[in-house]
Structure 1
């Protein structure tokens, strides 16, 4: 097939302004492009991390809720690599984000933690 890398991840949100704030101000992703598609009453926000395009954030009128708990079939979570997990957990907590307890991967010995975006999408921070 010749796959080279993951190009981007598309996320549909219920409250566009809240999710835009979360992904840009809280997580620190950079805005590449923002467009409003009037024919679909939908925003599309292209976001980058470290100069690499990684997330498309979409809004649509009244999207159905995502099932996250109990664990549902499909995309399980979105994971980002960080250097210092304690600093990031503190930063998230200061932004009002509820963060689970830091755990250690039993196979790699690396630490990780979970929290959710405004729509309940599980997000993981994995310490490098």
Structure 2
């Protein structure tokens, strides 16, 4: 029935800041960018390794949504990485601070978190 996750939609407060974060900091590639005048909204389609994964939307004055890790709803967005130390070092060079690296108690794998410009938790999980 289900074959894979098609995409993740994210609504941001400051479109230009979030666009720069997801493209310049995380390295996602822009597939298409559309401004929908009737909604005063941008829609930015982003890809990772050639695969469409994120729709980034802007809307005028979106309401706040709890983003704490234990709030009901989406907990976080996670990316698999080959070298967590390299990811953390690259993020630091771009002035993005990661939490201390932790070990998953069930898999023994290393992971860390950062926040996007709207405080959405983003996890990097080492392969």
**Range into which the TM-score falls when normalised by the shorter chain:** over 0.9
Question: Where does residue 125 of structure 1 map in the other structure?
Answer: 124
8 A Cα contact 2:97 2:114, kept in partner: yes
For the residue of structure 2 that corresponds to 1:5, the secondary structure is coil
For the residue of structure 2 that corresponds to 1:87, the secondary structure is helix
Provide the TM-score with structure 2 as the length reference.
Answer: 0.97
Return 5+ residue gaps in structure 1 as ranges: none
Alignment of 1:82-93 (within 5 A): 82-93=81-92
After alignment, is 66-75 or 37-46 more displaced?
66-75
After superposing on structure 2, the runs of 4+ consecutive aligned residues of structure 1 that deviate more than 6 Å are: none
CA distance in 2, matches of 1:81, 1:9: 15
Question: Where does residue 72 of structure 2 map in the other structure?
Answer: 73
Shift of 1:116: 0.3
Question: Where does residue 114 of structure 1 map in the other structure?
Answer: 113
Shift of 1:70: 6.2
Return 5+ residue gaps in structure 2 as ranges: none
**Cα-to-partner distance string for 1:71-107 (whole Å, 9 max, x where unaligned):** 2100000000001001100111111112100001011
Alignment of 1:1-128 (within 5 A): 2-69=1-68, 71-128=70-127
For the residue of structure 1 that corresponds to 2:55, the secondary structure is strand
CA distance in 2, matches of 1:70, 1:87: 25
CA distance in 1, matches of 2:103, 2:90: 20
CA distance in 2, matches of 1:79, 1:73: 17
8 A Cα contact 1:66 1:121, kept in partner: no
For the residue of structure 2 that corresponds to 1:20, the secondary structure is helix
CA distance in 2, matches of 1:9, 1:45: 12
When the two structures are aligned, how many residues end up with a matched partner? 127
